[in-house]
Chain A
Amino acid sequence: MISIYYSLALALMAAALVGLLSGTLGCFAVLRRQSLLGDAVAHAALPGICLAFWMTHSKESWVLLLGAIVAGWAGTLLVGAISRHSIIKEDAALGLILSVFFGIGLVILTALQSTNQTGQAGLMTWLFGSMAGVSIQEIMIMAIVTSMALCGVMIGWHPLVVCTFDRFYAHTLGINTRRMEWMITFLLVVAIAIGLQLVGVVLMSSLMIAPAVSARQWVNRLGPMVMIAGAIGMMATMMGVMISSLMRIPTGPTIVLCVSVFVMVSILVAPHRGIVWRLGRRRVVLSEP
């Protein structure tokens, strides 16, 4: 009995870390209109994970994580290069990189399987995400990376905010906007790579976007928004892990449904912006003479 509770506790801790990190950083992605970057990076990470496994033959979490970060980073750079140097727009570049990288990842994965290398089965969990076998070492890695990323956000808070909202103003202030943008993208890639283990490739975009979108409905300032988004991300992922272990259904989709409930509630009832609130206000205005 104790071991079940122990593994559930571990899963909850991991979920909380992932939710906190992706909720916080998701705010910047959403405000910079880069919401779908999460989706692309998550898919682009697959060949990195497979190559890392192929080269090292280890399933150590940090090795695969490194592979994911490198491949995801390469993917975002390519998206930027394509949309800058040709008539192809960013959305098409995202779709292209996403599907091509993912396809190459699958080729490596299946080629590994056909040459009968043992232990590749674990790679499949990255596709759909799993919290079942998370170990205390993995949580340590997650905690270290999460706190480093959050520290990065806090240290660079002021330039980060200016860059997010007004690049040109940031440039006039003497901020190196290109370096700031690299930093934001790098942090996003790291957050996505961490989250992949929990919810899987397909559903990662939701975990980035949903907390930020819900938080946006409640407040108009970036500081509180980031904090609320982090909190919502944490709550939603933990709820998802609890529900999925109670009902014995897959973790990733459950988390996504939980976080989507937060979005729905926020859109409906948030003060000033919410749909119900606006309906109520319209009625008040109409009833006045």
Chain B
Amino acid sequence: MMHFEIMLIASMVAIACAIPGTFLVLKKWSLLSDAIAHSILLGIVLAFWVTNQIQSPLSMLFAVAIGMATVWGSESLVRSKLIKEDAAIGLIFPVFFSLAVILVFWIGKNTHLDQDAVLLGELALAPLRRLEWAGIDWGPVSGWYVGLVMMGSIMMTIRFFRPLSVTLFDPLLSKAVGLSPGLGMMGLMIMVSLTTVVSYDAVGSILVVCLMVTPACIALLVTRELKRVLVMACVVGVVAAVLGYWVAVWLDATIAGSIAGTLGVLFLLTFIFSPLQGVWSHRVLMQQEKIEFACKILVVHLYSHAGTVIENQENTIEHMGRHMNWDMGYSNQVIQFGLARGYFEWLGDHLNLTSLGREWAKSAFSLT
């Protein structure tokens, strides 16, 4: 039951993060998630000061306010044209975070709010705080918070998919249809702040960043259409959450860190082997195209000499080495490729084009 609850919470966090994360990555605002994840600590600490609870409706309110303040602060620094965007993001959040750490230090001396717990999170402790109502155990508190925010983001994204993508990715069109371009950004930032604050207790700030950025990157390497990327990112997040949990059990280490590590490994595999974009697949494709081109040259060569007197000398494998500057191995490779495709066949010791090969050679000249 404990295993199941932890995996469920982790999976819900993964989904709740993947949705806004995809938009952030596409808008090149990935590091805003890092900034918000850190500065939101101030909101949590302030709310903790008032209510003595890490998770409460008030902490959500404060967190959204601080998240918006972070975005607004860096935006207005950029607008003043004194500071570039990257520097502005990197300036604002350390200030909020520092204030939060100092506040934690002052008020947290005899409470259970300590800085590394908030920063790093401990998923293993999440099922311990339970929601009891009318004498019945309703499951872990943080599970409910995370679940609500997850459902909220899913529903909002589906309901407002069009306006959200238009305001985010096409400001001119959104102005033309009467939607303020800032609207999508505001909604997105609220989503990011809420997700971060409910995920904090369970997984800590760094994993929030990881769960927002990495699944979206993996999905983008595999598919290009926005809806598919969103679904794919959610699936990847859930897979990583479950796998990462078992890695953590196996290593007896932090669950949040293991999920991050698992996501890293998944990303590396996708980066290398993805059929669409992977480095390895790209290489294989390049080699294939190279050999296909070589084969085309060979077919054209055969075509131009077909039926002439010197055909027997021109169309042998030895001649290819001299004519095309290919070595024996490469000539063999190209010939094997062409034979497999059925462009030509051996006739004694020289090559003879098939009708398919003749058509291909003609199409190379565009003589169809």
Residue from A82, A86, A89, A208 having most chain B Cβ neighbours under 10 A: A86
Q: Which chain B residues lie closer than 8 Å to A254 at the CB level?
A: 98, 102
The stretch from A95-103, A136-144, A157-165, A189-197 touching chain B is: A95-103
Interface string of B196-230 (1 = CB under 8 A from A): 00000000001101101110110011000000000
Residue from B98, B210, B216 having most chain A Cβ neighbours under 10 A: B98
Known A87-B277, A96-B213, A106-B120; contact A213-B253, beta-carbon cutoff 8 A? no
Q: Cβ of B221 and Cβ of A86 under 8 Å apart?
A: yes
Report the Cα distance A106→B210, complex, angstroms: 13
Q: Does A222 contact B (CB under 8 A)?
A: no
Q: Does A114 contact B (CB under 8 A)?
A: yes
The stretch from B84-92, B150-158, B171-179, B295-303 touching chain A is: B84-92
Q: Cβ of B264 and Cβ of A100 under 8 Å apart?
A: yes
**Contact partner, A114, options B80, B101, B105, B252, Cβ 8 Å:** B252
Known A86-B271, A99-B207, A253-B99; contact A106-B91, beta-carbon cutoff 8 A? no
Report the Cα distance A110→B31, complex, angstroms: 26
Number of A-B contacts (CB under 8 A): 197
Known A33-B86, A96-B213, A249-B105; contact A102-B34, beta-carbon cutoff 8 A? no
Q: Which chain A residues lie closer than 8 Å to B216 at the CB level?
A: 92
Q: Cβ of B95 and Cβ of A91 under 8 Å apart?
A: no
> By the criterion of a CB under 8 Å from any partner CB, how many residues of chain A are at the interface?
62
Chain A 25-66 interface residues, beta-carbon cutoff 8 Å to B: 30, 33-36, 38-39, 43
Q: Cβ of A107 and Cβ of B90 under 8 Å apart?
A: no
Report the Cα distance A93→B28, complex, angstroms: 10
**Contact partner, A105, options B38, B97, B257, Cβ 8 Å:** B257
Q: Which chain A residues lie closer than 8 Å to B220 at the CB level?
A: 87-88
Q: Does A111 contact B (CB under 8 A)?
A: yes
Residue from B34, B77, B258, B267 having most chain A Cβ neighbours under 10 A: B34
11 A-B pairs within 8 Å (CB atoms) are namely A38-B90, A95-B212, A99-B209, A99-B214, A99-B260, A100-B263, A103-B210, A103-B257, A115-B252, A202-B38, A252-B98
Chain B residues engaging chain A, CB cutoff 8 angstroms: 25, 28-31, 33-34, 38, 77, 80, 82-84, 86-87, 89-91, 94-95, 97-99, 101-102, 105-106, 115-116, 119-120, 206-207, 209-210, 212-214, 216-217, 220-221, 248, 251-254, 256-261, 263-264, 267, 271, 277, 279, 282
Q: Cβ of B116 and Cβ of A124 under 8 Å apart?
A: yes
Q: Which chain A residues lie closer than 8 Å to B106 at the CB level?
A: 249
**Contact partner, B28, options A34, A89, A216, A263, Cβ 8 Å:** A89
Q: Cβ of B254 and Cβ of A110 under 8 Å apart?
A: yes
Q: Which chain B residues lie closer than 8 Å to A105 at the CB level?
A: 257
Known A36-B89, A107-B258; contact A256-B98, beta-carbon cutoff 8 A? yes
Report the Cα distance A249→B95, complex, angstroms: 15
Q: Cβ of A206 and Cβ of B90 under 8 Å apart?
A: yes
Q: Cβ of A102 and Cβ of B260 under 8 Å apart?
A: yes
Interface of B is mostly: helix
Q: Which chain A residues lie closer than 8 Å to B119 at the CB level?
A: 127, 202
**Contact partner, A87, options B97, B221, B256, B259, Cβ 8 Å:** B221
Q: Cβ of A257 and Cβ of B207 under 8 Å apart?
A: no
Q: Which chain A residues lie closer than 8 Å to B252 at the CB level?
A: 110-111, 114-115
Q: Cβ of B253 and Cβ of A107 under 8 Å apart?
A: yes
Report the Cα distance A216→B95, complex, angstroms: 19
Q: How far is the CB of A101 from chain B (nearest CB, A)?
A: 8
Q: Cβ of B217 and Cβ of A92 under 8 Å apart?
A: yes
Known A103-B264, A256-B95; contact A92-B213, beta-carbon cutoff 8 A? yes
Chain A 230-275 interface residues, beta-carbon cutoff 8 Å to B: 249-250, 252-254, 256-257, 260, 263, 267, 273, 275
Chain A 197-223 interface residues, beta-carbon cutoff 8 Å to B: 202-203, 205-206, 208-210, 212-213, 216-217
Report the Cα distance A43→B87, complex, angstroms: 17
Q: Which chain B residues lie closer than 8 Å to A256 at the CB level?
A: 94-95, 97-98
Report the Cα distance A183→B57, complex, angstroms: 49
Q: Which chain B residues lie closer than 8 Å to A35 at the CB level?
A: 84, 86-87, 89-90
Q: Cβ of A209 and Cβ of B120 under 8 Å apart?
A: no
Chain A residue nearest to B98 (CB atoms) is A253
Q: How far is the CB of B38 from chain A (nearest CB, A)?
A: 6
Q: Which chain B residues lie closer than 8 Å to A275 at the CB level?
A: 80, 82
Q: Cβ of A99 and Cβ of B91 under 8 Å apart?
A: no
Known A100-B261, A202-B94; contact A91-B83, beta-carbon cutoff 8 A? no
Q: Cβ of B207 and Cβ of A39 under 8 Å apart?
A: no
Known A38-B90, A103-B207, A107-B257; contact A91-B28, beta-carbon cutoff 8 A? yes
Q: Cβ of B87 and Cβ of A30 under 8 Å apart?
A: yes
Q: Which chain A residues lie closer than 8 Å to B77 at the CB level?
A: 267
Q: How far is the CB of A121 from chain B (nearest CB, A)?
A: 12
Report the Cα distance A114→B80, complex, angstroms: 50
Q: How far is the CB of B192 from chain A (nearest CB, A)?
A: 12
Chain A residue nearest to B277 (CB atoms) is A86
Q: Cβ of A33 and Cβ of B84 under 8 Å apart?
A: yes
Q: How far is the CB of B115 from chain A (nearest CB, A)?
A: 7
In the complex, besides A43-B206, A96-B30, A100-B214, 18 extra interface pairs with C-beta distance below 8 angstroms are A35-B87, A36-B90, A87-B221, A91-B31, A99-B34, A99-B207, A100-B264, A101-B264, A103-B256, A110-B257, A203-B94, A203-B98, A213-B87, A254-B98, A256-B97, A260-B95, A267-B80, A267-B83
